[in-house]
Amino acid sequence: MLEHLVPKIIGKNPYRIMNIQELKHRVMARMPRHLARTLPWDDVLFQTLSVTLRAYGRSLPHKNGVVVVVVDLDYHSREKFQQQLESLFDRCSPRPPGGVRLAVEEGEAWLLGDPAAVYRAYPLAKKYVIDSYEQDSVCGTWEVLADAVFRGGAERLKKNAYPLIGKEKCRWADNIGQYVDAQQNTSPSFQEFRKLLNELMNSSKNSFLQ
């Protein structure tokens, strides 16, 4: 999704997107096996980002870039989770320039923020489902999108193993993301993400974005 959305915001400026899941596996590979298997996801997330941000803090000043961390809010308290993630930047010395933005409740909210894009990608999408969605509501967002575009909806999809769910979510992100209008998207959390990127671009001539 971000591969489609970021260029619509920053134009032709170069950027790089790194998947936190991939970084997580690298960090876990260096942990004792029993620890890697038992640590809660949040602990692994914070550990992964801490390592990554420290590395960027040392390298980015020389490359003239910024780091933007995008994470699904999921079940977290928004204010507390935001503060926890932002504090990871502050613990770095030097601190990498950038910040954190949350997709509320999930990344699919940014796709549902542009119903026209959903219909272009899926002309038979169920309008009554999309119309019932309240922007950035905590309601099981990916399930709403599944009910709108996937035959049998979320319930049918949940009967399959998770890899299929992940595969479908990636397909939606690609198919819909290419049509999303970054200017008109009505997801508040997407517009906060867009605003941050614009502010970073306008405040400096940074040329490296994550």
Contact 98, 67 (CB under 8 A): yes
Helix ranges, the chain (H): 2-10, 20-29, 33-38, 41-63, 78-90, 108-112, 115-121, 127-132, 141-149, 153-158, 162-177, 188-203
Task: State the pLDDT confidence band at 21, using cuts at 50, 70 and 90.
Answer: confident
Q: Which backbone phi and psi does 70 adopt, to 5 degrees?
A: -120, 125
Looking at residue 112, its pLDDT comes to 98
pLDDT digit string, tens, across residues 31-44: 777 776 677 878 88
Looking at residue 205, its pLDDT comes to 56
**CA–CA distance, 178 with 55 (Å, rounded to integer):** 32
pLDDT digit string, tens, across residues 108-152: 999 999 999 999 999 999 999 999 999 999 999 999 999 999 999
Annotated domain spans of the chain: 1-104+187-203, 108-185
Looking at residue 23, its pLDDT comes to 74
Average pLDDT over residues 32-59: 83
Cα 198 to chain centroid, rounded:
17
Average pLDDT over residues 3-28: 87
DSSP state of 209: B
Looking at residue 152, its pLDDT comes to 95
Looking at residue 31, its pLDDT comes to 72
- CA-based nearest residue to 30, from 8, 48, 45: 48
Average pLDDT over residues 78-92: 95
Average pLDDT over residues 150-157: 95
How wide is the angle at C-alpha 2 spanned by C-alphas 28 and 165, nearest 5°? 65
pLDDT digit string, tens, across residues 158-208: 998 778 899 999 999 999 999 999 999 999 999 999 999 999 988 765 444
Looking at residue 44, its pLDDT comes to 81
Residue, of 59 and 119, whose pLDDT is higher: 119
Is residue 12 scored above 60 in pLDDT?
A: yes
Contact 64, 34 (CB under 8 A): no
Looking at residue 207, its pLDDT comes to 45
Is residue 86 scored above 90 in pLDDT?
A: yes
Looking at residue 171, its pLDDT comes to 97
